[in-house]
Amino acid sequence: MGVMIALANFQNKFNTWNGADNSTIKRVNEDIATDMQRNVKPLQLPQLFGILGIGMAGSYIIRVLAGMDFIPKSDIMSTSTWSFIIITAVGIALSFTKVRNLEYYGASKIGYLGIFLYLPGIGAQANLADIVQSPQFLLMGVVWLSIHILCIFGAARLLKAPLFFVAVGSQGNIGGTSSAPIVASVFQPALAPIGLLMGILGNVVGIYAYAALLCGQLARMVAGG
């Protein structure tokens, strides 16, 4: 993520070298910024409770539903896997309703706050001493990321894609919805929603095209399970 953010300083040079047309991205950035300025509303208690209520109640209900006995489970298709499948579908469905207007009250900012609290909580549970005992997993990560970098820059060169799509697309695959919007906002301040959409698209492809399940099975094979 740090590397992707640092690349923002070189996007003009990269686009010139790659022959990429960045004018559409700049125009969309300006259009979204204008739309947000025109429609943004102050966050009040009803909207705040609505955002928190939908997020918390929805997460709890989906988690309970994913853990029910009638939903088939396996080593890979666990309760967590089903939770991601259901919550992705629900999120996409709600985007076609009036619930999407909560974005004008700062729904994404509240969501980012929740993510920023959640991610350190996960990291705090890690035992750094285990790194010394399992260096092969670090090597595996380096190999996988190297393949990812070669593929994404190869595709960018072939498609003459702007660096914005390279960085946000990469972060959308690696970090998902939690960090792709951050990288997008560094490249183009108003395009954080585009980063979020690309992260969601990565989830959709991973979940509904079985790419994530395939990666899970490969990881299980590597771990010898």
Please report which confidence band the pLDDT of residue 225 belongs to, taking 50, 70 and 90 as the band edges: low
Supply the pLDDT for residue 207.
67
- Give the span between the Cα atoms of 82 and 126, in whole angstroms: 24
Amino acid identity for residue 1 in this structure:
M
CB of 135 within 8 A of CB of 161? no
- In the predicted model, what is the mean pLDDT of the chain? 81
Across the range 64-71, mean pLDDT stands at: 86
Across the range 190-216, mean pLDDT stands at: 73
**Lowest mean per-residue pLDDT among 146-150, 180-184, 191-195:** 191-195
Across the range 186-197, mean pLDDT stands at: 78
Supply the pLDDT for residue 208.
65
> In the block, which residue shows the tokens 């939770």?
83
**Lowest mean per-residue pLDDT among 2-6, 79-83, 192-196:** 192-196
Q: Give residue-wise pLDDT tens across range 130-169.
A: 777 777 778 888 888 899 889 988 998 998 988 888 888 8
3-class state of residue 224 by DSSP:
coil
CB of 220 within 8 A of CB of 205? no
Range among 71-75, 149-153, 199-203, 221-225 rated most confident:
149-153
What pTM value is reported for the model? 0.66
Q: Give residue-wise pLDDT tens across range 7-51.
A: 888 888 888 888 888 888 888 888 877 877 787 888 888 888 888
Supply the pLDDT for residue 198.
80
Please report which confidence band the pLDDT of residue 210 belongs to, taking 50, 70 and 90 as the band edges: low
Q: What is the DSSP string of 62-95?
A: HHHHHTSTTS---SSS-HHHHHHHHHHHHHHHHT
Supply the pLDDT for residue 196.
75
- Give the span between the Cα atoms of 14 and 18, in whole angstroms: 6
Range among 105-109, 122-126, 153-157, 215-219 rated most confident:
153-157
